[in-house]
Amino acid sequence: MTVYSYSRINTYYTCPAQFQFRYIERRPSPVAEGIELFLGSRFHETMEYLYGQLDNKVPTVNELVNYFKNHWQQHWQTSLQKQRDRGFKDTLRIAKAGQTVEDYFQKGQLFVENYFHQYHPFDQDKTEGIELKVAFNLDPKGQFKMQGFIDRLGRDDSGTLWIHDYKTSARKMSDEDAKSEDQLALYHAGLLQNPRFGAKEKYKLMWHFVAFEKDQVVAERNPKEIDWLKQKYISKIETIEKAKTFPTKTGILCRWCEYLTVCTDGTAWVRSKGGEVDDDSAAIKEATPSTSSASLTTTEVPLPEPVAATAVPAEAIAPRSTARKKSSRHSVSPDQLKLF
Ligand code: SF4
The identity of residue 134, as a single letter, is V
What was the pLDDT predicted at 274? Answer: 83
| Ligand 1: nearest atom to the Cα of 267 | 1
> Among 10, 14, 18, 277, which residue has the most ligand 1 atoms within 8 Å of its CB, making it the best to mutate?
18
What was the pLDDT predicted at 175? Answer: 96
What was the pLDDT predicted at 324? Answer: 29
| Ligand 1: nearest atom to the Cα of 14 | 7
Q: How many Å apart are CA 58 and CA 121, to the nearest integer?
A: 7
Q: How many Å apart are CA 233 and CA 138, to the nearest integer?
A: 7
Length of the chain, in residues: 340
> Among 22, 252, 260, 336, which residue has the most ligand 1 atoms within 8 Å of its CB, making it the best to mutate?
260
> Among 263, 284, 331, 337, which residue has the most ligand 1 atoms within 8 Å of its CB, making it the best to mutate?
263
Three-class HEC string of the chain: CCEECHHHHHHHHHCHHHHHHHHHCCCCCCCCCEHHHHHHHHHHHHHHHHHHHCCCCCCCHHHHHHHHHHHHHHHHHHHHHHHHHCCCCCCCECCCCCCCHHHHHHHHHHHHHHHHHHHCCCCCCEEEEEEEEEEEECCCCCCCEEEEEEEEEEECCCCCEEEEEEECCCCCCCHHHHCCCCHHHHHHHHHHCCCCCHHHCCEEEEEEECCECCCEEEECCCHHHHHHHHHHHHHHHHHHHHCCCCCCCCCHHHHHCCCHHHCHHHHHHHHHCCCEEECCCCEEECCCCCCCHHHCCCCCCECCCCCCCCCCCHHHCCCHHHHHHHCCECCCCHHHHHHC
What was the pLDDT predicted at 113? Answer: 97
Beta bridge partners of residue 284, listed in sequence order? 277
Q: How far is the CA of 158 from the centre of ligand 1 (A)?
A: 46
Nearest CA to ligand 1 atom 7: 254
Task: Decide whether any atom of ligand 1 lies within 6 Å of the 253 Cβ.
Answer: yes
Q: How many Å apart are CA 265 and CA 259, to the nearest integer?
A: 11
What was the pLDDT predicted at 279? Answer: 53
What was the pLDDT predicted at 301? Answer: 56
Q: How far is the CA of 135 from the centre of ligand 1 (A)?
A: 30
**Residues of the chain under the 70 pLDDT cut:** 89-90, 95-96, 278-340
Task: Decide whether any atom of ligand 1 lies within 6 Å of the 256 Cβ.
Answer: no
| Ligand 1: nearest atom to the Cα of 21 | 5
Q: How far is the CA of 258 from the centre of ligand 1 (A)?
A: 8
Q: How many Å apart are CA 340 and CA 297, to the nearest integer?
A: 17
Task: Decide whether any atom of ligand 1 lies within 6 Å of the 17 Cβ.
Answer: yes
Is residue 34 packed enough to be buried (19+ CB in 10 Å), middle (13-18) or exposed (0-12)? buried
What was the pLDDT predicted at 316? Answer: 35
Q: How many Å apart are CA 286 and CA 271, to the nearest integer?
A: 10
What was the pLDDT predicted at 31? Answer: 81
CA atoms within a 13 Å half-sphere pointing along the CA-CB vector of 7: 11
Contact present, 317 and 323 (Cβ < 8 Å): yes
Q: How many Å apart are CA 285 and CA 75, to the nearest integer?
A: 26
- For residue 191, give the nearest of 225, 148, 158, 156 by alpha carbon: 148
Query: What is the pairing mode between strands 3-4 and 145-155?
Result: parallel
Q: How many Å apart are CA 33 and CA 227, to the nearest integer?
A: 37
Beta bridge partners of residue 216, listed in sequence order? 208
Q: How many Å apart are CA 223 and CA 228, to the nearest integer?
A: 9
CA atoms within a 13 Å half-sphere pointing along the CA-CB vector of 28: 9
Domains, the chain, ranges and CATH?
12-120+251-339 (no CATH), 127-242 (3.90.320.10)
| Ligand 1: nearest atom to the Cα of 258 | 6
What was the pLDDT predicted at 96? Answer: 66
